[in-house]
Amino acid sequence: MAYAIKLSEESLSALRKIDTSSVKRIISKLEQAAENPAHFFERLVDREEYKLRVGDYRILSRVLHQERLIFIYSIGHRKNIYK
């Protein structure tokens, strides 16, 4: 059973600013990750958040295993996302 994906307002706003081809790649990768989050998401060091790499973009999220939910709270270019 796949996990549900929920995006924050900030991540939706970030998606609107990214070019269409990259958005399609991000959405496709999220759909794949919803099937098996442990395979795609990497846990950040000393934090409870996870990251997903899609080309030059990073998706920061919380994976809630109890609720079977992936909450995306930030999407951005790799040089700016961790600031």
Q: Among the residues of the chain, which ranges form H helices?
A: 9-17, 20-35, 37-40
As given in the structure block, the two tokens for residue 3 are 């996990």
pLDDT confidence of 31, banded at 50, 70, 90?
very high
* Residue 31 identity (one-letter amino acid): E
Q: Which burial class, exposed, middle or buried, applies to 59 when counting CB atoms under 10 A from its CB (0-12, 13-18, 19+)?
A: buried
- Asked if residue 83 has pLDDT above 80, the reply is no
CA proximity to 51, closest of 75, 79, 69, 27:
75
Pick the CATH number of 4-77 from 3.40.50.460, 3.40.50.2300, 3.80.30.20, 3.30.2310.20: 3.30.2310.20
As given in the structure block, the two tokens for residue 79 are 């040089």
pTM above 0.85, yes or no: yes
